Structure 1
Amino acid sequence: MPDGFFNNENINHIIKEHLEDKIKPYGRIKYAYAIINKENPVNMMVITNYSEWADLYLKNSYQLVDPVIIKCLSSVDGFLWDEDIMLRAQFKLPMLYRMGENYDIKNGCTFTLHDYKNNLALLSIVMGEHCDEATKTAIINERDRLQSLLISTHKKTLSLYQDESDAALPDKRKLGPLTLRESEVIYLASQGKTYAEIACSLNIKVTTIKFLMGNIVKKLGAINAKHAIILGIELKLHPPALSDNSLVQKN
């Protein structure tokens, strides 16, 4: 799993306990809850009760070629799959096929969810030889419940990671307040404006913009101007009514 992509061990442990508590009624089944960034599928996180498989899977980035994942990317509904999908991949993807056989991954049910952060979340239930017929029937009959479990689990995951992100931000109540001019500067900078463009918009010198940005960096406890802009966006420090079309020229 790449550094920084849903890699908080404490949060992931909470999610794993949540999942296993909800899945417990189905008995001894193998499951995998995964999140994949659709813009860069190399970024993948997996929470599962068969970690040996997950470690090998992530090490080889099999999500880039896995036929189940490929189908998930264009699907909004849960679907059943069996060993035929792996057999079709046997000649093109022999390593993936052998891994499926070795880990008794012959058939299962996968549920999908596309979130607002451009991630694909999925919950796969593997129904191999370890899974009796009664359990298989229960899983098939309760697909709506399992889809809801994926939704609630992913919502919980995003919420916990958002809390972590918020906690990492400086408390704006402890920060020195930005002046109106400083707020205007950081707002325009957050819109991608250069120092020269900001100076032109506000009718002041570039050297003044640099001075104001220096003040902003100090007040926000930022590392540099780029970091200050990011913090300003997340803390919503720019004037709410400020826009490119409503700037008042000031000396």
Structure 2
Amino acid sequence: MDNDLYSNDEKNRYVKSFLEKNLLKYGNIHYVYSVMNKSRMNSMSILSNFPDKLVDDYLDGGKQNIDPVILSALNRVTSFYWDENLKISSRWEIRSIFSPVKPYNITSGYAFVLHDHQNNLGILSLYIDNLLKKETLDLILNHKDDLQCLLLSTHEMLLDVYHNHKITKIVFTPRENEILYWCTTGKTHKEIAELLHISLGTVKFHTANIVRKMGVRNIRHAVSLATELKIVSPPAGKKIC
């Protein structure tokens, strides 16, 4: 198995933390976020709240090559419902691929799909407990747009953190650190400007520098990443509660 695709544990923990925080509103749901290179299908990374052994067995066995959900997603751009009767090429059923999750009372789920500019297939698959099938499926269908956006945001974040190889060596100026700290507390740019007695334009100038230094796309991602990696400190005389 090719294990080189997005295999940094620290960066994956950050992305996984972001994803799980945003899935909390959907209850105690099992998920798999997978990224696979479409030219090298053995090159795959998985983030999930299933046990590590289940994920490792799947990857070690190269199951993505016969997984009907993966193979269906390769030819789709829209989300879709799946169950153990899903077929490969409309003919072949491989129900054994779903056997490892049956102890969790799962035989179906819903998959969200994206294809990125690096020739990767990204999938966010949400697994449906048979005892809560109607409620869970209704919840997913009522939030399809939000969940598709969550996949896009998560995947964008994954690409961002892997693009920036020196994220833990960033040096902020005192003012950048101060502004980033207040951003992590949830304050808006306008509130920070009033708090520090500087102009709104100055705040935006420094946040743009923070985003550039961290190699991310916006201040929201910068705040999440800085918090996860613990690279922001409170201003002098300010204690973190």
Equivalent-residue separation in structure 2 for 1:46 and 1:156 (angstroms): 15
- Give the TM-score, by structure 1 length: 0.60
Equivalent-residue separation in structure 2 for 1:30 and 1:97 (angstroms): 14
Deviation at 1:141, TM superposition (A): 1.2
Equivalent-residue separation in structure 1 for 2:3 and 2:152 (angstroms): 25
Equivalent-residue separation in structure 2 for 1:55 and 1:131 (angstroms): 27
What is residue 127 of structure 1 aligned with on the other side?
Answer: 128
1:41 aligns with 2:44: no
Distance change in 2, residues 1:134/1:92 (3 Å): closer
Distance change in 2, residues 1:66/1:89 (3 Å): farther
Deviation at 1:137, TM superposition (A): 1.2
Q: Which runs of 5+ in 1 are unaligned?
A: 168-251
Q: Is the 8 A contact 1:78 1:112 kept in 2?
A: yes
* Identity across the alignment (%): 33
Distance change in 2, residues 1:91/1:102 (3 Å): farther
Q: Is the 8 A contact 1:87 1:97 kept in 2?
A: no
Equivalent-residue separation in structure 2 for 1:88 and 1:53 (angstroms): 26
What is residue 118 of structure 2 aligned with on the other side?
Answer: 117
Q: Is the 8 A contact 1:86 1:100 kept in 2?
A: no
Give secondary structure in 2 for the equivalent of 1:108: strand
What is residue 32 of structure 1 aligned with on the other side?
Answer: 32
Correspondences of 1:127-146 after superposition (within 5 Å): 127-129=128-130, 131=132, 133-146=134-147
- Give the TM-score, by structure 2 length: 0.62
Correspondences of 1:163-178 after superposition (within 5 Å): 163-164=164-165
What is residue 105 of structure 1 aligned with on the other side?
Answer: 106
Correspondences of 1:85-234 after superposition (within 5 Å): 85=86, 93=94, 95-129=96-130, 131=132, 133-164=134-165
Give secondary structure in 2 for the equivalent of 1:17: helix
Structure 1 residue runs of 4 or more that deviate by more than 4 Å after TM superposition = 86-92
Equivalent-residue separation in structure 2 for 1:78 and 1:2 (angstroms): 27
Q: Is the 8 A contact 2:68 2:94 kept in 1?
A: no
Deviations 1:142-165 (A, max 9, x none): 11110000001000000000002x
Equivalent-residue separation in structure 2 for 1:95 and 1:120 (angstroms): 23
Equivalent-residue separation in structure 2 for 1:104 and 1:85 (angstroms): 17
Q: Is the 8 A contact 2:34 2:123 kept in 1?
A: yes
Q: How many pairs does the alignment contain?
A: 167
When the two chains are superposed, the root-mean-square deviation of aligned CA atoms in Å is: 2.6
Deviation at 1:100, TM superposition (A): 4.5
Deviations 1:77-131 (A, max 9, x none): 1111123217999976364243353444311110111001000011000012364
What is residue 4 of structure 1 aligned with on the other side?
Answer: 4
Deviation at 1:55, TM superposition (A): 1.7
Which region of structure 1 is more displaced relative to structure 2, 125-134 or 113-122?
125-134
* One-letter amino acid of the structure 2 residue matched with residue 113 of structure 1: L
* One-letter amino acid of the structure 1 residue matched with residue 50 of structure 2: Y
1:20 aligns with 2:20: yes
Equivalent-residue separation in structure 2 for 1:107 and 1:86 (angstroms): 13
What is residue 73 of structure 1 aligned with on the other side?
Answer: 74
Deviations 1:179-202 (A, max 9, x none): xxxxxxxxxxxxxxxxxxxxxxxx
Which region of structure 1 is more displaced relative to structure 2, 103-112 or 150-159?
103-112
Distance change in 2, residues 1:16/1:130 (3 Å): farther
* One-letter amino acid of the structure 2 residue matched with residue 2 of structure 1: D
Equivalent-residue separation in structure 1 for 2:131 and 2:61 (angstroms): 25
Give secondary structure in 1 for the equivalent of 2:118: coil
Which region of structure 1 is more displaced relative to structure 2, 39-48 or 127-136?
127-136
